[in-house]
Amino acid sequence: MRPCTEMRCLRVRPARRLHGRLRVPGDKSISHRAVILGGIAEGETRIEGFLGADDCLRTARAMHEMGVGIEGLPSESLRVRGVGLRGLRRPGRALDMGNSGTGMRLLLGLVAGQGFEATLTGDESLSRRPMDRIALPLGQMGARVSGRGEKVLPPVTVHGGDLRGIAYRLPMASAQVKSAILLAGLNAVGPTTVIEPARSRDHTERMLRAMGADLEADDLTITLTPGQPLAAQNVSVPADFSSAAFFLVAALLVPESEVVLEQVLLNPTRAALLEVLQEMGADVQVAGRREVAGEEVGDIIASSCHLHATEAAGAMIPRLIDEVPLLAVAATQAEGVAIIRDAAELRVKESDRLAAMAEGLAAMSARIEELPDGLIITGPSSLRGATVSSHGDHRVAMALAIAGLVAEGETVIEDTDCIATSFPGFAERLRGLGADCIEEE
């Protein structure tokens, strides 16, 4: 048995069969937005299915530090007493966002429209993530955003105040940057327009409209006209597609498997992995499509099958950006040469995800080549168990765990505390389907 290092690790052995039904935790993106927008709405917002993972808890606690009443933490059921668009107060200390890049970027936009100064900090990983892409448009609106160096690395201080609406063309498709600008625009003078180069997830726009904001979307152009207060809503958070995707791909790769994933978010700006997998010949069906709180949900049924390689690039990438590490794992078992391009954004996530996946899968004997903006993977490969590192990245850790299910021998993924940032209970749910995986200190 390979020894673990001093940090937590996950041991995975090959699976013979996966079978069962499960519902993964609530959607991370929607949980962030529900507690933020509920906090600046008028009245009480009730949230069911809130993701009680560290990233979302950091955002909720930051809102509480700024005067928002929140009951129910860390459960899935929250009551958020909104303070109105301009009712937030200056926090008495720096807002510690832990590892949450989404929380930091959205709150920078929110605070920019308030009449006070706040500093946002984070852990070692978040302190390496650039905030210049947020600082630039917020600066054009009239806020002052300062951090370390040209990339505006955290800790980041934002001086909020009188903002003016702008028209801003995003240099890359980014829901975080788009959302930060729209949140700032709620308290700006005049309309704020964001033009995207390709569609990114649209949860902020959906929730703003549901709460009464004057927001119009015309293809890739979104315009927010301020002046309308937000009305509190009841929010039912569907199961997170990005979390469900790990079990979806596992069911496709492990022989004689069938897994049903219940009430999964199917928002088209998030679920592009389904399209790519179907192009690869995946046996995936969606049943019971319905709308819940303005979002499409359904049950995903996945069965083991033979896959063939495909190419993922261009406008498809922003709609599956979080699933690229998992797509790389699927590609190792597909027939032919798979190509992933236009994904350079992954180099500035919790880790350099392109490098981390290339390193980890190569250690497991995959035939994989790293590109400046993607990966080339030749399959199918007979993977072999190895000791690999998550590089402190939750999605890398979970993707390599899925690879371990189809590798010969034992795979040890080191540094897996990070999984709790988005998916507490991941290993337990995997075992519930029949996998042989053990968490160790």
Place of tokens 């530090």: 65
| Residue from 322, 342, 352, 393 carrying the catalytic annotation | 322
What is residue 153's predicted lDDT score, i.e. its pLDDT?
Answer: 97
DSSP state letters, 43-61: SEEEEES---SHHHHHHHH
**Segments making up each domain of the chain, as ranges:** 9-25+238-440, 28-236
Please give the Cα distance from 74 to 66 (Å, whole number).
18
- The whole-number pLDDT of residue 294 equals 77
**pTM higher than 0.75, yes or no?**
yes
363, two tokens: 């250690």
What secondary structure, in 3-state letters, does 366-432 show? CEEEEECCEEEEEECCCCECCEEECCCCHHHHHHHHHHHCCCECCEEEECCHHHHHCCCCHHHHHHH
CB-based burial of residue 149 (10 Å sphere; 0-12 exposed, 13-18 middle, 19+ buried)?
exposed
Active site (annotated) includes residue 342: no
Separation CA 154–CA 148 (nearest Å): 6
Ordered mean pLDDT values, 10 residues apiece, the chain (441 residues): 68 97 96 98 97 96 98 96 97 96 97 96 94 97 96 96 96 95 98 96 95 95 97 95 98 98 95 96 95 88 97 94 97 98 94 97 98 97 98 97 98 96 95 95 80
Are 354 and 308 in contact by the 8 Å Cβ rule? The answer is: no
Local structure of 298: helix, strand or coil: strand
9-25+238-440 and 28-236 share one fold: yes
Pick from 96, 94, 71: nearest CA to 81: 71
Query: How far is C-alpha 294 from the geometric centre of its chain's CA atoms?
Result: 19
Domain boundaries 28-236, corresponding CATH code = 3.65.10.10
Residue 80's Cβ-count burial label (10 Å; 0-12, 13-18, 19+) is: buried
pLDDT of res. 398: 98
Contact status, residue 303 vs residue 334, Cβ threshold 8 Å: no
Q: What is the pLDDT of residue 171?
A: 95
Q: How are strands ordered across the β-sheet holding 367-371?
A: 311-312, 336-340, 374-379, 367-371
Contact 350, 125 (CB under 8 A): yes
In words, the CATH class of domain 9-25+238-440 is alpha beta
